[in-house]
Amino acid sequence: MSRARRSALVAALKACITVGCVALMAWYVGPHRLLDALRQADPRILFGAVCLTPISLAVKITRWWVLARSVDAHIRWRDAAGSYLAGLCLAVITPFASGELARGLWFQQRAELTGKVLVDKLLDLTVVALFTVTGIIWIPGYVPLKIVCAVMAVVMAGAWSVRRWLGALGMRIGEKLRRPALVRLCEAVRHIETRVLGTIVLLAALFFVLFYAQAFVLLKGFAPSAPARTLTVFPLITLSTIVPITIGGLGIREWAAALLLRHFEISDAVAVNAFFMHFIVITFIPGLLGAPLVQRLTRLNAATDAASLSHATPASTTAQHQA
């Protein structure tokens, strides 16, 4: 089976799972309950939450810009914004969010910047793990979960302190196994400067503070009595979509929100509405903004390939004449 056909089958399967999860969730919660919760929401609070989206995106794009400039200091912020939005659009619709790696195709140093995208995602996971540990400390019980999350956070945070050694080891393993993606990731991790790493970690933390603040404001728009303690489980809801078996984590995120927020007497209908709307305003709408940029991304990639081919052809011709 060709790679294109396999990717198409995976995408179709993912779409089917998404539809099934959403349909099952709607049936379980009840369409009338979902509509009632939506009608009772305060539009002023919801609008205030939406206004946080440009700020969150600006922080996220700035973080990617700082990371990209560690490869090429001439990269402009607007180019980082274009590549980020195009990658976000592809991430929503591609299997396992692999389309986000296309961010690096916007620039000439494609291989290096693709590695930096992988670093960006690893840092996201590290920061979310730290937020998760901070949150679940305040939740009674769940001792095994607390231990697992704490170990994961310590291991991931500690790995960055020995990143050069781990990067070199990973590169050797990737070369031996012939895994170019692993080699690019490890090379990007190995060569990231401490100053750059500190800056992007701080920006990642700021983004997730804004991200969870926006989710809480949306929740308050549906349930004005929702306590601030609900914030403690928001990182767990994020981690529920770590393996994107559905498009954009649809259905999985909302199921996790409904289950976790029951502990705070938040109805399933409110939880589902709040976190579905959060997906719409922070991922889906920005992804739509990136849709027109995907075509430009394709053109840039094709132009780079053509340029590489034109440089390679004279060399091969010369070699043939010499032979």
Tens digits of residue pLDDT in 103-136: 877 787 777 788 888 888 888 888 888 898 888 8
Tens digits of residue pLDDT in 294-314: 877 767 655 555 554 454 444
Closest-CA residue to 155 (of 185, 180, 133, 187): 133
Tens digits of residue pLDDT in 240-275: 887 667 777 888 899 999 999 998 999 999 999 999
- Region at 142 (left for phi over 0; alpha for psi -120 to 50; beta for the rest): left
Closest-CA residue to 253 (of 228, 287, 278): 278
Q: Rounded mean pLDDT of 41-60?
A: 94
Closest-CA residue to 276 (of 247, 239, 250): 250
Q: What is the pLDDT of residue 96?
A: 53
pTM of the model: 0.83
- Say which residues have a Cβ less than 8 Å from residue 110's Cβ, sequence separation at least 6: 104, 301, 304
CA angle (84 as vertex; 81, 85 as ends), nearest 5: 85
Tens digits of residue pLDDT in 217-237: 999 999 999 999 999 999 989
